[in-house]
């Protein structure tokens, strides 16, 4: 037993968050694939079909997040991440071999693929928050965001490198290559331990203690954390026998559930994914140049996102979660609203102005709402309801993402881009107000302390 090989904590944290690569790649890949798909299948004037193909992944993710949250309470976070990786590999390959003009086929396959993306978005934050010590939880959960935006940047670079291929090959390879990070995720996660909180909840205390020895340095810290986890698990086991979907909104949990779900929903309804999915088409509408020649813009957005995620890791546990979220939401709202105001006052403004403001939006989104949404979702829910509540929060997040992806091309076909983004800007401001009055501060507090605050509300 003395010679048993330990799993390095860095390996655990890296592959624990690697699901974000899949999440990010699939958010980003359609950005570059769409202009070629539109040409190949003659979809330039089919805003509804384009919206459905783009948003089908998010539609599947609505269900994947909820189902994975529930199943992970029974099977464990690790096993569900492995299942998600398999679904992702299959869905990516099937997308790449779509029959010509097979819009319905591609939509169905991408809904299937979306169940895996939604599962990863729910499971990775829950797994990371249960593995990380309270003082590092913001940084390590922020690692998930770095993985997501790195996946997006990777997809943008792949799209750019493949842009000179014939249209029918370019978009197929862009979608199909997502199977590679899915395979890497499967191999890595197969070597990871289960979350200690899930193991205690399943009656496997010795295994939970062993996992904690990989990721905590001090025996006293391990003893204290085991005692906290066991005490909470005993309380939650009693409550779990009567836990149902209705329990999420009972008096004891309502405050925390509304906070987590609200933040997850606002993150998407603020319109970030309209930029990530459609930036080449946004630039095309602003400049008149072909979208397929605007694939450098997604890379610029991707670089901003990665830099922002690294900034977040550097400052994560130095500033309160609520402070950063309200700062980000305010600047994001102004970045969307100001172009509409300037356009009204100075009608002949350079149309690229809106793209500059979108870059400012992305910069502030990247180190505030983007990572903090998942940090808060990972921190705010009590153990008895964490699987279900995280899944529900993820589903609301994906509902927002689905609606933005579906409606944005339809909205921009019927009104100016400035007007569409001004609507998103108002939603950003509402998100700031919601955070101020409805979201508790979670920085540097144990999951048990946060739960106690919800109980006392």
Kindly state the average pLDDT of the residues 154-178. Answer: 92
Q: Is the pLDDT of residue 246 over 80?
A: no
Measure the CA–CA gap between 175 and 343, rounded to whole angstroms: 37
Q: Is the pLDDT of residue 267 over 80?
A: yes
User: Which helix (H) or strand (E) element contains residue 159?
Assistant: helix 137-161
Measure the CA–CA gap between 398 and 360, rounded to whole angstroms: 24
Kindly state the average pLDDT of the residues 220-241. Answer: 75
- Percent of the chain having pLDDT more than 70? 93
Helix (H, G, I), strand (E, B) or coil at 105: helix
Please, where are the H alpha helices in 346-416? Answer: 353-367, 369-380, 383-414
Q: Closest Cα to residue 384, out of 243, 250, 182? A: 243
Q: Among 124-133, 162-171, 252-261, 351-360, whose mean pLDDT is lowest?
A: 124-133
Other C-beta atoms lying within 10 Å of the C-beta of residue 419: 14
Is-contact 268 404, C-beta < 8 A? yes
pLDDT class of 454 with cuts at 50, 70, 90: low
- DSSP per-residue letters across 395-409: HHHHHHHHHHHHHHH
pLDDT of res. 450: 75
Helix (H, G, I), strand (E, B) or coil at 10: helix
Tokens of 154: 């990777």
Q: How far is CA 87 from CA 69, 109, 145, 420, in A?
A: 16, 11, 22, 35
pLDDT class of 238 with cuts at 50, 70, 90: low
Q: Is the pLDDT of residue 91 over 70?
A: yes
Measure the CA–CA gap between 435 and 426, rounded to whole angstroms: 14
Average pLDDT, the chain: 86
User: Which helix (H) or strand (E) element contains residue 49?
Assistant: helix 47-75
Q: Is the pLDDT of residue 151 over 70?
A: yes
Q: Among 92-96, 161-165, 211-215, whose mean pLDDT is lowest?
A: 211-215
Is-contact 16 153, C-beta < 8 A? no
pLDDT of res. 2: 40
pLDDT of res. 425: 96
Is-contact 121 397, C-beta < 8 A? yes
Q: Is the pLDDT of residue 368 over 70?
A: yes
What is the CA 400 to chain-centroid distance, rounded?
A: 12
> Structural domains in the chain?
9-192+242-456 (1.20.1250.20)
Q: Among 299-308, 349-358, 389-398, whose mean pLDDT is lowest?
A: 389-398
**DSSP 8-class letter at 181:** H
Q: Is the pLDDT of residue 75 over 70?
A: yes
Q: Is the pLDDT of residue 240 over 70?
A: no
Q: Is the pLDDT of residue 1 over 60?
A: no
């Amino acid at each position: 037993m003395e010679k048993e090989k330990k799993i390095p904590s860095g390996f655990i944290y890296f592959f624990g968050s690697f699901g974000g690569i899949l999440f990010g790649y699939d958010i980003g890949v359609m950005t570059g694939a769409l202009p070629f798909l539109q040409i190949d299948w003659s979809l330039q004037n089919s805003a509804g079909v384009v919206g459905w193909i783009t948003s089908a992944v998010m539609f599947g993710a609505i269900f994947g997040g909820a189902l994975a949250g529930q199943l992970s309470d029974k099977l464990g976070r690790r096993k569900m991440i492995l299942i998600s990786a398999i679904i992702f590999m299959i869905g990516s390959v099937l997308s790449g071999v779509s029959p010509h003009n097979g819009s319905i086929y591609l939509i169905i396959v991408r809904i299937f693929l979306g169940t895996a993306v939604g599962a990863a978005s729910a499971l990775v934050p829950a797994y990371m928050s249960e593995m990380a010590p309270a003082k590092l939880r913001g940084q390590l959960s922020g690692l998930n965001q770095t993985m997501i935006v790195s996946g997006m940047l990777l997809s943008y670079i792949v799209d750019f490198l493949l842009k000179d291929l014939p249209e029918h090959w370019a978009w197929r390879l862009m979608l199909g290559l997502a199977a590679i990070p899915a395979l890497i995720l499967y191999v890595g996660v197969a070597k990871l331990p289960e979350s200690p909180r899930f193991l205690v909840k399943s009656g496997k205390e010795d295994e939970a203690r062993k996992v904690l020895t990989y990721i905590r340095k001090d025996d006293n810290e391990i003893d204290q954390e085991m005692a906290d986890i066991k005490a909470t698990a005993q309380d939650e086991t009693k409550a779990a026998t009567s836990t149902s979907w209705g329990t999420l909104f009972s008096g004891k949990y309502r405050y925390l559930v509304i906070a987590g779900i609200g933040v997850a929903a606002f993150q998407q309804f603020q319109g970030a994914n309209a930029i990530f999915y459609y930036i080449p088409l946004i630039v095309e509408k602003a400049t008149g140049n072909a979208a397929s020649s605007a694939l450098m813009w997604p890379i610029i957005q991707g670089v901003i996102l990665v830099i922002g995620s690294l900034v977040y890791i550097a400052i994560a546990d130095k500033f309160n979660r609520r402070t950063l979220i309200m700062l980000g939401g305010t600047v994001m709202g102004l970045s969307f609203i100001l172009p509409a105001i300037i356009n009204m006052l100075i009608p002949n403004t350079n149309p690229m102005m809106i793209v500059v403001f979108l870059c400012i939006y992305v910069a502030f989104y990247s180190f505030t709402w983007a990572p903090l949404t998942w940090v808060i979702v990972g921190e705010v829910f009590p153990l008895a309801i964490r699987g279900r509540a995280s899944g529900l929060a993820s589903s609301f997040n994906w509902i927002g993402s689905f609606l933005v992806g579906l409606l944005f091309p339809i909205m921009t076909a019927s009104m100016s881009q400035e007007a569409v983004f001004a609507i998103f800007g108002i939603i950003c401001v509402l998100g700031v107000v919601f955070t101020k009055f409805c979201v508790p501060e979670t920085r540097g507090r144990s999951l048990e302390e946060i739960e106690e605050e919800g109980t006392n509300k």
